[in-house]
Amino acid sequence: MDIVSIPGSRIVEVSRLAFATQDVDFLCFGESDQPSPHVARDALLKAVDSGETRYPDVRGLPDLRHTIADYLTGLHTKPVTESRIQVAASGMAAITIALNTTVSAGQRVVLHSPIWPNIGNAARLRGAVVEEIDLTPTAGFGFRLDLDRLDQMLIGARVFVLNSPNNPTGWTATTDELKAILDIARKRNVWLISDEVYSRLVYDDRPAAPSLLDVAEPDDRVMVCNSFSKAWVMTGWRLGWLVVPEGLRDRISDIVEAIHSGVAPFVQRAGIAAMGDIETVARFRAHCTVGRQLASEALNGLNGVRYTPPPGAFYAFVGVDGLTDSLNLALNLVKRHGVAVAPGVAFGAAGEGNLRICFAQSPDRMARAMIRLRDGLRAELGS
């Protein structure tokens, strides 16, 4: 059949086996087992009961746009005006809108790798030429972005997509690194699309990770994408937003109209309520801190395993000595040991040799799953 195709998800391959297998602990998806905020649910039901079920303003409800702008202004160094806010049907939709706004067929899009595969696939669907710059491992199994190499790769490129805090590694760019990346993009006349969905999930007592919103000017060629999915525990609600250059929002909303024609108003009301509940993010970050610690304790001292607790996001990215087929190992962990993790190769060639574990789970589930994973790795690695 003559249809467009893109590379299939290796995470889905693992999850399908896990769904077909009894008694499996799921650590392969990028979501928590915690409930969404009660205030979001209550606001949604109230909006439905009130008849807010018609087509909304494609830019987003004014109340939500102002709420997001006020939230970002309070969180970051530079103010963000409502006129730069575009509501989207999820963080992935926000990235897709940004790519559709900036990229034409045949143009180059540069990503750092490992990275969530949907971003590269969205660029490929635009007909873009996708090129990857590998994050460089550092002492202690951390990561860094080689800025000199990035400078050279962005010659003639159209877009650089940044994801910090990063899925799957947890790498988080510093403010100085963001300034350098912005300077390179300005010099090379390249658009920056920044995926910041994990911005509130950092573990050093800061309210948020450094953001391009801290350093970029309103007229820079920068779009910042975010979502309610992670920090507000609202993965299934499909609600996100973009911060776009001043003066371009209405032109970008025309593209939103063509892609998904706006977001259900009752879901937007839920987002307003969730953002107003300032304790939600703090509670969830504390929850992830516990899972991070449980992952670290289980992986500590395990022969053949390299791991450093991440500074951001909610994943343990685990290196396995000598591993050349992370998908096969992940499938065996499901079949033989009852635990599902994401194979590193799902995040690009630079991810091979690793496994990604989502530690945003309840302590009981994490403890049981990590025992299974630890025992499974020992058995599979012969250690």
In a domain, 5, yes or no: no
With a pLDDT cut of 70, the percent of the chain lying above it is 99
- Judge whether residue 139 has pLDDT over 90: no
Is 141 a residue whose pLDDT tops 80? no
Q: Residue 284 above 80 pLDDT? A: yes
Would 2 be classed as within a structural domain? Answer: no
- What pLDDT does 383 receive? 64
| Partner residues linked to 240 by β-bridges | 88, 227
Q: Cα 219 from chain centroid?
A: 25
All residues at 6 or more sequence positions from 170 whose CB lies less than 8 Å from its CB, including other chains = 309, 310, 311, 312, 313, 315, 317
Tell me the CATH number at 26. Answer: 3.90.1150.10
Q: Mean pLDDT score of the chain, rounded to an integer?
A: 96
Per-residue pLDDT, 295: 97
**Is residue 173's pLDDT more than 70?**
yes
Examine the domain organization and report whether 269 and 284 are in the same domain: no
Asked if residues 198 and 209 have their Cβ atoms less than 8 Å apart, the reply is yes
Cα angle: 238, vertex 368, 330; to 5 degrees: 65
pLDDT attached to residue 140: 74
Using one digit for the tens of pLDDT, what is the confidence trace for 26-55? 999 999 999 999 999 999 999 999 999 999
* 289-335 pLDDT, tens digit each: 999 999 999 999 899 999 999 999 999 999 999 999 999 999 999 99
CATH of the domain at 245: 3.40.640.10
Same domain for 166 and 75, yes or no, is: yes
pLDDT at 94: 98
The pLDDT, as a whole number, for residue 142 is 87
- Assess if residue 146 is contained within a domain: yes
Whether 161 is covered by a domain: the verdict is yes
Question: For the CA atoms of the chain, what is the radius of gyration?
Answer: 20
- Please check whether residues 115 and 26 belong to one and the same domain: no
Q: Are residues 202 and 188 in the same domain?
A: yes
Domains contained in the chain, number:
2
* 258 and 293 belong to one structural domain: no
The conformation of residue 342, written as its DSSP 8-state character, comes to E
- Alpha carbon separation from 248 to 35, 89, 194, 210, 245 (Å, rounded): 36, 19, 17, 24, 6
In this prediction, residues 167-173 reach a mean pLDDT of 97
Q: Domain boundary at 218, 245, 276, which? A: 276
Strand partners, 138: 142
Whole-angstrom CA distances from 373 to 81, 299, 369 are: 46, 9, 6
Indicate whether 24 and 93 sit together in one domain: no
pLDDT at 124: 96
Distances in Å between the alpha carbon of 294 and those of 74, 184, 213, 365? 32, 39, 33, 10
pTM, two decimals, is 0.96
Residues 298, 374 contacting (CB under 8 angstroms): yes
pLDDT of residue 3: 82
68 and 188 co-located in one domain: yes
| 3 state DSSP class of 305 | strand
Instruction: Please give the backbone phi and psi of residue 59, each rounded to the nearest 5 degrees, phi first.
Output: -75, -15
Residue 175's domain comprises 38-276
* Structure confidence at residue 382 (pLDDT): 82
Cis peptide before 62 (omega within 30 of 0): no
pLDDT band at 4 (very low <50, low <70, confident <90, very high): confident
Together in a domain, 220 and 320: no
Is residue 6's pLDDT more than 90?
A: no
Structure confidence by residue, pLDDT tens digits, 49-90:
999 999 999 999 999 999 999 999 999 999 999 999 999 999
DSSP H helices, the chain, are: 10-19, 38-49, 62-75, 91-102, 117-125, 147-153, 175-188, 249-259, 265-276, 279-299, 326-337, 363-381
> How far is residue 232 from each of residues 19, 240, 320, 336, measured CA to CA in Å?
26, 11, 32, 34
Question: Do 87 and 158 fall within a single domain?
Answer: yes
Beta bridge partners of 358: 315
Tokens 């499909």 -> residue: 238
Is residue 346 domain-resident? yes
37 upstream amide cis, omega within 30 of 0 = no
Residue 383 inside a domain? The answer is no
Same domain membership, residue 318 and residue 229 = no
Reply yes or no on whether the pLDDT at 221 is more than 70.
Answer: yes
Q: Please, are residues 181 and 162 in contact by the beta-carbon 8 Å criterion?
A: yes
Q: How confident is the model at residue 92 (pLDDT cuts 50, 70, 90)?
A: very high
